[in-house]
Amino acid sequence: MDIEAIIRNMTVEEKIRLLAGASFWSTHAVERLGIPSVVLTDGPHGLRLSGSDETGDILANAKPATAFPIEAAMAATWNERLVEEAGRTIAEECQHYGVGILLGPGVNGKRSPLGGRNFEYYSEDPYLSGRMGSAFVRGVQSGGVGTSVKHFVANEQETNRMVVSSEVDERTLREIYLLPFEMIVKDAQPWTIMCAYNKVNGTQMANHDGLLNGVLKNEWGFEGLVMSDWGAVEDKTASVRCGLDLEMPGPGARDAEVLEAYRNGLVTDEQLDDHVRRILGVIQKIAASKRDVPALEADRHHEVARKVAEEAIVLLKNEGGLLPLAKGANIAVLGKFAEIPRFQGGGSSHMNPAKLDIPLDALSAFAHTVYGAGYADESPDEELIEEAAELAKGKDAVIVFVGTTEKIESEGYDRADIGLPESHLRLIEAVARVNPNVAVVTHSGSAIDLRPFERSVRAIVHAWLPGQAGGSAIANILFGETNPSGKLSETFPLALEHNPSYLSFPGDIASVRYSEGIFVGYRYYDTKKLDVLYPFGHGLSYTEFQYANLRLSADRLENGGTLQVTFDVTNRGARAGKEVAQVYVRDIKASVPKPDKELKGFAKIGLAPGETKTVTVELDERAFSHYCPHLRRFAVETGVFAILVGSSSRDIRLSATVFFHSGDETRLPLTPDHSLKEWLEDDRSASRIREALRNANVDEASPLFPILLGMPVRKLRLLFPALEGLSAAAAE
Ligand code: BGC
């Protein structure tokens, strides 16, 4: 396809037509010029291809496809290779069904555990989200299928998502909410990006010139196409002018409006051609990498989904080594989710799984099991609870399945609280009273409140919404076939009220203020030194890992330099296992507010019993920087940084420091409104100001002096004419 020749041959009407979908799930073909239509559909946990192209009923007769663990779980694997493999597998299914673009991954943030789509997003940490999202995009696109990284940007809630304005300061936007998109655009070149429904600082994302044309396309060099979320375009002409390439869904009804705008000079040839070039570029890639995949290899794909689920499951607690359970033991399996698996969230990512493992069946392959449903719905059923407690008596161990219900976690609305259903809590309570060996398997896509039973059970295994192979993955973990290696991709706080967004989530119909700024998740809890239930990065293993010998490649860094952080990890136990070693950076003293620590690198390492591996994680300049609004870029402030290596954000095993000598001037110039103290403490002005004070015979030992220190130099001069020289010095 010679795209430039095609553009030259297209009429204005043909170009405009291409800027909207042809149907709910496809783009327009231009047969005259040999341009095919492409199919796009959801994503991100597998392919949800609706049986009907004409309707918005996304669940109608969806084709069977492999349901992978939710994104939050994928992130909990901290295993990029595995996530990439999941992406490649999904791409194969897309090829089989003739889908050109998979609508995902979602990389929005997690301001609040209440976010209805948190399950569909990776992490509260933007760096982890960026790494996982890049891996997923690489995987899918290596299979010749495009991705659509969504929802660009600041779409952290479902409440009012179509109208609300997310009010975010620039530093927060850059460091927290734009970062995953930036990393993925630069590292993995996604073919498409999906813009969000919401407004950002008052402007609809579908026509946000500054973020679409400015940041995404010009600054980051994004070469793919930007499509709208389904129905996000309000003002089509503005969208065309501001960088939105493709309006979805179709068929577009506003071609005449755009044509008129074009005739009036509001939309230029250059703008139209740029949109068409981007759309054709993606269509060309899809057409060129189309493969014939005659059959779905459902069994093999199921195995990939199982591997991901196993690495995603997080062993939160294992008192006295209750787990792994002995094969052949007598076990009570309780809770309806053991029989009717809780494996995916609701909304556009809801799939029709090609296969489905039943936890109870998988557990029964390892042990003698009895089963009781324990609950039917969210309100307690005394009979079921009693029956379950009876079954639990005298068993070697009891496994209770609990979690959020389908109704609780879905696209379209936020959660009301982080509690589990009353019926689930009552079941655990009753069972824990009659058997000391209770292991609880929890299902949810985001943080839940485990406190009601945390102390009365010996083991807790967080299984997320683990996809279609979750049942066997859970059994393999519980019986030690697989050593758990998942680590939390978000904090489980002690209380919802501790969450930094608690007072400003979800805002009102007009706006939501991101008042916690950059202090999201552990960035807040760790800085505030608040206890949490389970910290970010936490996850136990059936073996133990020891960290030693931290060495840094340099003790001094400059702009453009990189730092190799090297350390040894040893498996001290008797089982093979995998550890996620996390590298955090702490800015010891900064002129702007900074979190206690921030994740800047990690590695997942497999170790045989007794084995030691040397791990190197590289940190570049960006790892030490913050976004400097007045420089309009990321910059490093000269100073000492601590490098913290650990097994979770609250389990730091090794640390060292490095001095970064930066050429960036991250500080704003001082003004006459700044205080005398600030002028004196600033090395750019200290000597001048000191001299001016000397000239005015100011006695720094006088009891009055601390009062002067707090005053703006502009006022000092007005109050004390002798200090005239001071404001002159400050003005220089
Ligand atoms: C969702 C998107 C999804 C699209 C198509 C929208 O409502 O926000 O994530 O890709 O629908 O189903």
CA distance 93 to 145: 10
Per-residue pLDDT at 225 exceeds 70: yes
Ligand 1 center to residue 629 CA distance, Å? Answer: 32
CA distance 252 to 406: 33
CA distance 149 to 240: 20
pLDDT of residue 725: 82
DSSP letter assigned to residue 25: T
Sequence-ordered alpha helix ranges (H) in 325-421: 359-364, 382-392
In the chain, the amino acid numbered 174 is R
pLDDT digits (tens, 9 = 90+) for 91-113: 999 999 999 999 999 999 999 99
Whether 505 lines ligand 1, by a CB cut-off of 6 Å, is no
Whether 121 lines ligand 1, by a CB cut-off of 6 Å, is no
pLDDT of residue 334: 98
Contact yes or no for 658/640 (Cβ under 8 A) = yes
Ligand 1 atom closest to Cα of 161?
8
In the chain, the amino acid numbered 435 is N
Ligand 1 pocket test, pick from 49, 50, 58, 103 with the greatest ligand atom count within 8 Å of Cβ, gives 103
pLDDT band at 52 (very low <50, low <70, confident <90, very high): low
| Known catalytic membership, residue 381 | no
Whether 150 lines ligand 1, by a CB cut-off of 6 Å, is yes
pLDDT digits (tens, 9 = 90+) for 473-521: 999 999 999 999 999 999 999 999 999 999 999 999 999 999 999 999 9
Contact yes or no for 631/587 (Cβ under 8 A) = no
Cross-strand pairs, 81: none
Q: H or E element: which one contains 335?
A: none
pLDDT of residue 252: 86
pLDDT band at 54 (very low <50, low <70, confident <90, very high): low
CA distance 330 to 453: 23
Q: H or E element: which one contains 693?
A: helix 686-695
Q: What's the chain's length in residues? A: 732
pLDDT of residue 667: 85
CA distance 535 to 329: 32
The SS3 of residue 231 is: coil
Average pLDDT in the 267-276 region?
98
Per-residue pLDDT at 55 exceeds 80: no
pLDDT of residue 551: 98
Contact yes or no for 54/82 (Cβ under 8 A) = no
Pairing of strands 612-619, 563-571: antiparallel
Peptide bond into 151 cis (omega under 30): yes
Closest residue by Cα to residue 608 from 576, 581, 580: 576
Q: What angle do CA 117, 120, 122 make, to 5 degrees?
A: 115
Which residue is catalytic, options 42, 229, 357, 526? 229
Contact yes or no for 148/227 (Cβ under 8 A) = yes
Closest residue by Cα to residue 321 from 437, 485, 454, 453: 437
Averaged pLDDT of the chain? 96
CA distance 403 to 442: 5
Per-residue pLDDT at 59 exceeds 70: no
What the chain holds in terms of domains, given with CATH numbers, is: 36-247 (3.20.20.300), 299-534 (3.40.50.1700), 545-661 (2.60.40.10), 676-731 (no CATH)
| Other Cβ atoms within 10 Å of 574 Cβ, number | 11
